[in-house]
Amino acid sequence: MSEIKNICCIGAGYVGGPTMAVIAAQCPHLKVTVVDINAERIDRWNAEDLDELPIYEPGLKEVVGKARGKNLFFSTEVDRAIDEAEMIFISVNTPTKTYGKGKGQAADLKFIELCARDIARVAREDKIVVEKSTLPVRTASALKEILQNTGKGVHFEVLSNPEFLAEGTAINDLLHADRVLIGGDDTASGKKAKDQLSAIYENWIPKERILQTNVWSSELSKLVANAFLAQRVSSINSISALCEKTDANIGEVARAIGYDSRIGPKFLQASVGFGGSCFQKDILNLVYIARSFGLEEVADYWEQVILINNYQRNRFVDKMITSMYNTVAGKKILLLGWAFKKDTNDTRESAAIYVADALIEERASLVIYDPKVSEKRILQDLDALGTRSPEENRKALTVIQDPVLASEQSHAIAILTEWDEFKTLDWESVYKKMLKPAFVFDGRRILDTEQMEAIGFSCYTIGQ
Ligand code: NAD
Ligand code: UGA
C-alpha cells in the first residue's frame, strides 16, 4: 500500500463532517475530501456563511473555517474522490431496518453496500477501506466479499474504526478522544494498514490511547459501548420512578452512588428518556444479533434497556395528564426543547417527539420552542410517526421563537431538552403570564424546584 496522501470520506453527516474537519485541521499534509449524494447537505458544508453549516456543534465552524478550501473539501463527486484516495472512510447512515427480515431491529446495510459497490467499481489501485459507521459484528466480511470480487486485481484492506464522539461535544471528543479503536486483520498487510491509520491519529492523539484489535472485536465493541452507556441511563431512570414513590431524590442517589469510583459520576442524569440516532438503533441491533445466535436471555437482557426508556417517556406524559386533573384536552402546553440533548440541532429519536405525539393524542394544543431546531424539522419528525395526518399535526401545534411571550395563557410548561438558556429564563414573568395553577414539568432536572415553587409554580421534577 502506498503512502497516504489523500483520504476521502463517504457520508457528510454528524460523524463524517466533524471527524474529517478535525483530521484535516490536525493533518495539514493530508488532502481530505468529504463526499455525499445529498447535494443540499454538501452546499451547506460549502456555505460562505459558517452559520449555515448543516450541523450545529460547538466549535465546528471554527475547525471547518480553518481547513476548508486548504486541505478540506466537500463535494458530490463520489467517484472522483474514491479514485484519488488511498484511504476511504465509510461514514454513511446505518438506520434500523423498516422492512423485510429483521424489520424494526437489524441494521439496514443498504447504504454501506452501495458504498462498497461504488468503491469496487471505481478503484484502479489498492486501497484501505475504513468502516467509520457503526456496523453489526462481521459486516467487514460482507464488505470484503464485494470488494474482493472485482476481477481487477486491486487489493483492499478493510479496517474497523468506530467513532465514539457524542453530539454537542463532538469537536472536544475528537480532539481529546478517550481512545481510538482500530480493528483489522492480523496479516502483514492488515497490520500495516492498521499502523497507517494509527499514524494519522498519532498527529494529535497519544499513541497509548490508540488501540488495535481484530476487526470483529472492534465492530462489536462499538455496539457494546453504546449499550453500556444507554444501560446506565435506563438504570438511573428506573430508579427515578422508585424515588418518586419513596421521597428519595434521584439527584442525591446519583451523587451518592457516583462517588463510588467503581461506578463513577457520568451518565447518571435521570431524564425524560434517552434519544439520539444511535442508542436505540445499536441496542436493537445487538438484541437482533444475540437472538440470531439463539442467545434469547442475552437478547432479553439488553432489550429491557429500551423498554425502560419507553416506560420513562410514557411515565412523564402520564404525570402531566394526571397532574392537570386527568385532562389536557384544549389546554395550551409550552414544550421547551426538541433536540435529543443540548448543543445539537439533531432531533433523531428525541424524547420530545414522543411526548408531543402523546399530548396531541390527548388533544392538547402545543406551543414548541427550541433554539436550534426549525419548524420544518419538528413537523417532519411528527409526520414521520404517522400517528395522524400532516394537516392534523399542523393544527395541533405552533412553533415559536419567544418562550416568555408564548407562555401567555398557557396551562403548563414541559422541559424536554436541557438547553442552558432554560435555566435562566425569566421565570417570574412566565409565571405572571400563565394560567393558575401554573404547572412546570421538568424532564431534565435543570430547574431548582424550591425556587420555582417559591415563585408560585406547581413543579414536578423527574425523580423527586
Ligand atoms: P447522517 O445521517 O448524519 O449522515 C450520513 C450521510 O451519508 C448522509 O448525509 C447521507 O446522504 C450519506 N450517504 C448515504 N448513502 C450514501 C452513499 N451511497 N454515498 C454517499 N453518501 C451517502 O449519519 P451520522 O449521524 O453521521 O451517522 C453515520 C454513522 O456513524 C452511523 O453508522 C452511526 O451509527 C455512526 N455514529 C454516529 C454518531 C452520532 O453521534 N451521530 C456517533 C458515532 C457513530
Ligand atoms: C452517544 C455516545 O455517548 C457516543 O459515545 C456515541 O459515539 C454515540 O452515541 C453514537 O454512537 O452515536 P450521543 O447519542 O450523541 O452519543 O449523545 P449522548 O450524550 O450519549 O446522549 C444520548 C441520550 O442520552 C441523550 O438524549 C441524552 O440526553 C441522554 N442522557 C445522557 C441522559 O438522559 N442522561 C445521562 O446521564 C446521559
Please tell me whether residues 50 and 175 are part of one structural domain: yes
The domain spanning residue 313 has which CATH number? 3.40.50.720
Ligand having the closest approach to the CA of 229: 2
Q: List the one residue out of 108, 137, 18 whose CA is nearest residue 66.
A: 18
The whole-number pLDDT of residue 2 equals: 76
- For the four alpha carbons of 185, 23, 148 and 290, in that order, the dihedral sign comes to positive
What's the Cα-to-Cα distance from 114 to each of 91, 92, 246, rounded to whole Å? 12, 10, 53
Instruction: Using the atom order of ligand 1, give the atom closest to the CA of residue 134.
Output: 32
Residue 380 to residue 373: CA distance in whole angstroms: 11
Q: Which regions in the chain score pLDDT beneath 50? A: none
Burial of 225 (0-12, 13-18, 19+ CB in 10 A): middle
Domain assignment present for residue 294? The answer is: no
What's the Cα-to-Cα distance from 11 to each of 92, 157, 286, 443, rounded to whole Å? 5, 20, 23, 33
Ligand 2: distance of its center to the CA of 278 in Å? 8
Name the closest-CA residue to atom 13, ligand 2: 166
Domain assignment present for residue 160? The answer is: yes
The whole-number pLDDT of residue 136 equals: 86
Residue 85 to residue 3: CA distance in whole angstroms: 11
Q: Where does a domain end: 191, 213, 235?
A: 213
Instruction: Using the atom order of ligand 2, give the atom closest to the CA of residue 269.
Output: 36
The whole-number pLDDT of residue 145 equals: 87
Q: For residue range 21-79, what is the model confidence (pLDDT) as tens digits?
A: 999 999 999 999 999 999 999 999 999 999 999 999 999 999 999 999 999 999 999 99
Among 10, 15, 77, which is best to mutate for testing ligand 1, by the most ligand atoms less than 8 A from CB?
15
Domain assignment present for residue 147? The answer is: yes
Number of domains into which the chain is organized: 2
Residue 315 to residue 309: CA distance in whole angstroms: 10
Domain assignment present for residue 237? The answer is: no
Q: Give the torsion through C-alpha atoms of 118, 119, 120, 126, to 10 deg.
A: 170
Instruction: Using the atom order of ligand 1, give the atom closest to the CA of residue 118.
Output: 18
Please tell me whether residues 333 and 188 are part of one structural domain: no
Please tell me whether residues 199 and 56 are part of one structural domain: yes
Please tell me whether residues 81 and 199 are part of one structural domain: yes
Name the closest-CA residue to atom 19, ligand 2: 166
Please tell me whether residues 189 and 40 are part of one structural domain: yes
CB of 284 closer than 6 angstroms to any ligand 1 atom? no
Provide the annotated active-site residues: 163, 222, 278
Domain assignment present for residue 247? The answer is: no
Q: List the one residue out of 101, 38, 117 whose CA is nearest residue 17.
A: 38
Residue 288 to residue 299: CA distance in whole angstroms: 7
CB of 341 closer than 6 angstroms to any ligand 2 atom? yes
Domain assignment present for residue 435? The answer is: yes
Burial 104-138 (b: 16+ CB within 10 A, else e): ebbbbbebbeebbebbbebbeeebbbbbbbbbbbe
Please tell me whether residues 311 and 208 are part of one structural domain: no
- Which residues does 280 contact at the CB level (< 8 Å), separation at least 6? 96, 230, 274, 306, 309, 349
The whole-number pLDDT of residue 1 equals: 62
Q: Where does a domain end: 213, 231, 261?
A: 213
- Which residues does 99 contact at the CB level (< 8 Å), separation at least 6? none
Domain assignment present for residue 221? The answer is: no
Please tell me whether residues 320 and 453 are part of one structural domain: yes
User: What residue numbers bound the domain in which 162 lies?
Assistant: 6-213
Q: Where does a domain end: 198, 213, 228?
A: 213
Ligand 2: distance of its center to the CA of 134 in Å? 15
Residue 321 to residue 329: CA distance in whole angstroms: 10
Name the closest-CA residue to atom 32, ligand 1: 133
CB of 460 closer than 6 angstroms to any ligand 2 atom? no
Please tell me whether residues 424 and 312 are part of one structural domain: yes
Question: One-letter amino acid identity for 171?
Answer: I
Q: What is the pTM of this model?
A: 0.96
Domain assignment present for residue 280? The answer is: no
